[in-house]
Amino acid sequence: MSDEVIARVSPSTFRVFMGVAAMSGLGAILLYLALAYPPASLLLRGFLVVMGLLALWAGTRMFSVNGLSLELTETHLKDSEGRIIATIAEVESVDRGAFAFKPSHGFLLRLSQPAPRAWFPGIWWRMGRRVAIGGVLPGGENKAIADMISIAVARRKGDLPL
Protein backbone atom coordinates (compact mmCIF):
# COMPACT_ATOMS: atom_id res chain seq x y z
CA MET A 1 0.00 0.00 0.00
CA SER A 2 1.39 3.34 -1.03
CA ASP A 3 0.67 6.90 0.01
CA GLU A 4 -0.01 7.91 -3.58
CA VAL A 5 -2.96 10.30 -3.82
CA ILE A 6 -5.85 8.59 -5.61
CA ALA A 7 -8.26 11.53 -5.53
CA ARG A 8 -8.13 15.17 -4.47
CA VAL A 9 -10.98 17.62 -3.91
CA SER A 10 -10.57 21.37 -3.40
CA PRO A 11 -13.14 24.13 -2.95
CA SER A 12 -13.39 26.83 -5.57
CA THR A 13 -12.73 30.40 -4.52
CA PHE A 14 -16.30 31.35 -5.41
CA ARG A 15 -17.78 28.64 -3.17
CA VAL A 16 -15.60 29.70 -0.25
CA PHE A 17 -16.52 33.35 -0.83
CA MET A 18 -20.23 32.47 -0.85
CA GLY A 19 -19.89 30.41 2.33
CA VAL A 20 -18.02 33.18 4.13
CA ALA A 21 -20.53 35.77 2.88
CA ALA A 22 -23.47 33.66 4.08
CA MET A 23 -22.04 33.09 7.56
CA SER A 24 -20.86 36.69 7.96
CA GLY A 25 -24.16 38.01 6.62
CA LEU A 26 -26.09 35.89 9.09
CA GLY A 27 -23.93 37.20 11.93
CA ALA A 28 -24.39 40.81 10.81
CA ILE A 29 -28.18 40.40 10.54
CA LEU A 30 -28.44 38.83 13.99
CA LEU A 31 -26.35 41.60 15.56
CA TYR A 32 -28.36 44.24 13.72
CA LEU A 33 -31.62 42.76 15.00
CA ALA A 34 -30.28 42.61 18.54
CA LEU A 35 -29.08 46.22 18.53
CA ALA A 36 -31.46 48.11 16.22
CA TYR A 37 -34.68 46.33 17.20
CA PRO A 38 -33.92 44.94 20.65
CA PRO A 39 -36.42 42.37 21.89
CA ALA A 40 -38.17 43.05 25.18
CA SER A 41 -36.54 40.02 26.76
CA LEU A 42 -32.95 40.56 27.84
CA LEU A 43 -32.37 36.81 27.46
CA LEU A 44 -33.46 36.87 23.80
CA ARG A 45 -31.31 39.93 23.12
CA GLY A 46 -28.31 38.15 24.62
CA PHE A 47 -29.06 35.06 22.55
CA LEU A 48 -29.12 37.13 19.34
CA VAL A 49 -25.82 38.80 20.19
CA VAL A 50 -24.11 35.50 21.06
CA MET A 51 -25.40 33.76 17.93
CA GLY A 52 -24.40 36.74 15.78
CA LEU A 53 -20.87 36.73 17.19
CA LEU A 54 -20.62 32.95 16.71
CA ALA A 55 -21.73 33.29 13.07
CA LEU A 56 -19.12 36.02 12.46
CA TRP A 57 -16.46 33.82 14.09
CA ALA A 58 -17.51 30.85 11.93
CA GLY A 59 -17.24 33.04 8.83
CA THR A 60 -13.69 34.10 9.70
CA ARG A 61 -12.76 30.50 10.52
CA MET A 62 -14.15 29.38 7.15
CA PHE A 63 -12.05 32.04 5.43
CA SER A 64 -8.92 30.84 7.26
CA VAL A 65 -9.28 27.30 5.86
CA ASN A 66 -9.64 28.64 2.32
CA GLY A 67 -6.64 26.80 0.80
CA LEU A 68 -7.46 23.43 2.39
CA SER A 69 -8.14 20.42 0.16
CA LEU A 70 -8.79 16.73 0.83
CA GLU A 71 -6.69 13.85 -0.46
CA LEU A 72 -7.62 10.18 -0.59
CA THR A 73 -4.91 7.53 -0.58
CA GLU A 74 -5.23 3.73 -0.37
CA THR A 75 -4.88 3.84 3.42
CA HIS A 76 -6.45 7.10 4.60
CA LEU A 77 -8.28 10.33 3.92
CA LYS A 78 -6.28 13.42 4.88
CA ASP A 79 -6.27 17.14 4.29
CA SER A 80 -3.62 19.08 2.40
CA GLU A 81 -1.89 20.07 5.65
CA GLY A 82 -1.26 16.41 6.51
CA ARG A 83 -3.97 15.92 9.17
CA ILE A 84 -5.37 12.40 8.88
CA ILE A 85 -9.15 12.66 8.88
CA ALA A 86 -9.85 8.92 8.87
CA THR A 87 -8.05 5.74 7.97
CA ILE A 88 -9.84 3.45 5.54
CA ALA A 89 -9.41 0.55 7.98
CA GLU A 90 -11.50 2.43 10.59
CA VAL A 91 -14.40 3.28 8.25
CA GLU A 92 -17.46 1.14 8.93
CA SER A 93 -19.86 2.81 6.51
CA VAL A 94 -20.33 5.73 4.13
CA ASP A 95 -23.66 7.55 4.15
CA ARG A 96 -24.66 9.86 1.30
CA GLY A 97 -28.39 9.55 1.77
CA ALA A 98 -30.81 12.46 1.55
CA PHE A 99 -31.70 12.19 5.23
CA ALA A 100 -28.17 11.74 6.58
CA PHE A 101 -26.85 14.41 8.96
CA LYS A 102 -24.18 15.61 6.55
CA PRO A 103 -23.00 18.85 4.96
CA SER A 104 -24.32 20.09 1.65
CA HIS A 105 -23.01 18.06 -1.33
CA GLY A 106 -21.14 15.84 1.11
CA PHE A 107 -21.13 12.51 2.86
CA LEU A 108 -20.80 11.02 6.33
CA LEU A 109 -18.27 8.41 7.45
CA ARG A 110 -18.96 6.22 10.48
CA LEU A 111 -15.78 5.03 12.15
CA SER A 112 -15.17 1.96 14.30
CA GLN A 113 -13.31 3.98 16.96
CA PRO A 114 -14.00 7.51 18.25
CA ALA A 115 -11.49 10.15 17.18
CA PRO A 116 -10.67 13.60 18.56
CA ARG A 117 -13.02 16.40 17.61
CA ALA A 118 -12.03 18.69 14.77
CA TRP A 119 -13.86 21.36 12.79
CA PHE A 120 -12.84 23.02 9.54
CA PRO A 121 -15.99 24.86 8.41
CA GLY A 122 -17.08 24.16 4.88
CA ILE A 123 -14.55 21.34 4.45
CA TRP A 124 -14.93 18.66 7.16
CA TRP A 125 -15.73 18.02 10.80
CA ARG A 126 -15.26 15.06 13.11
CA MET A 127 -17.12 14.30 16.32
CA GLY A 128 -16.74 10.95 18.02
CA ARG A 129 -17.27 8.19 15.49
CA ARG A 130 -18.71 10.47 12.79
CA VAL A 131 -16.78 12.37 10.13
CA ALA A 132 -18.66 14.70 7.78
CA ILE A 133 -17.12 15.84 4.51
CA GLY A 134 -18.58 18.61 2.34
CA GLY A 135 -20.00 22.09 2.46
CA VAL A 136 -18.08 24.26 0.00
CA LEU A 137 -16.48 21.25 -1.70
CA PRO A 138 -17.87 20.29 -5.15
CA GLY A 139 -20.54 17.61 -4.97
CA GLY A 140 -19.36 15.54 -7.94
CA GLU A 141 -15.83 15.16 -6.61
CA ASN A 142 -17.17 14.38 -3.13
CA LYS A 143 -19.41 11.69 -4.61
CA ALA A 144 -16.43 10.09 -6.36
CA ILE A 145 -14.41 10.02 -3.14
CA ALA A 146 -17.38 8.60 -1.20
CA ASP A 147 -17.78 5.88 -3.84
CA MET A 148 -14.07 4.98 -3.68
CA ILE A 149 -14.23 4.72 0.12
CA SER A 150 -17.44 2.64 -0.11
CA ILE A 151 -15.75 0.22 -2.51
CA ALA A 152 -12.69 -0.07 -0.25
CA VAL A 153 -14.92 -0.78 2.77
CA ALA A 154 -16.97 -3.36 0.83
CA ARG A 155 -13.78 -5.13 -0.31
CA ARG A 156 -12.40 -5.14 3.22
CA LYS A 157 -15.64 -6.66 4.54
CA GLY A 158 -15.62 -9.26 1.76
CA ASP A 159 -18.76 -7.99 0.03
CA LEU A 160 -16.86 -7.36 -3.24
CA PRO A 161 -14.21 -9.47 -4.93
CA LEU A 162 -10.67 -8.14 -5.01
> pLDDT for 124-149, tens place per residue?
999 999 999 988 888 889 999 999 99
Q: Are 69 and 30 in contact (CB under 8 A)?
A: no
Instruction: Please check whether residues 85 and 151 belong to one and the same domain.
Output: yes
Q: What is the pLDDT of residues 116-125, one digit of tens each?
A: 999 998 899 9
Residue 2 inside a domain? The answer is no
Q: Who has greater pLDDT, 16 or 3? A: 16
User: Which H or E element spans position 19?
Assistant: helix 13-36
What domain range is 38 assigned to?
Answer: 11-64
Q: Identify the bridge partners of residue 125 per DSSP, sorted by sequence position.
A: 119, 132
Residue 4 inside a domain? The answer is no
Tell me the C-alpha distance between 86 and 124, whole Å: 11
Mean pLDDT, residues 83-102: 87
Query: What pLDDT score was predicted for residue 57?
Result: 95
Instruction: Please check whether residues 122 and 151 belong to one and the same domain.
Output: yes
pLDDT at 161 over 80: no
Instruction: Please check whether residues 118 and 60 belong to one and the same domain.
Output: no
Tell me the C-alpha distance between 25 and 104, whole Å: 19
Q: What percent of the chain has pLDDT over 90?
A: 54
Could you give the number of structural domains in the chain? 2
Q: What is the pLDDT of residues 23-46, one digit of tens each?
A: 999 999 999 999 999 889 999 999
Mean pLDDT of the chain, nearest integer: 90
Q: Identify the bridge partners of residue 77 per DSSP, sorted by sequence position.
A: 72, 86
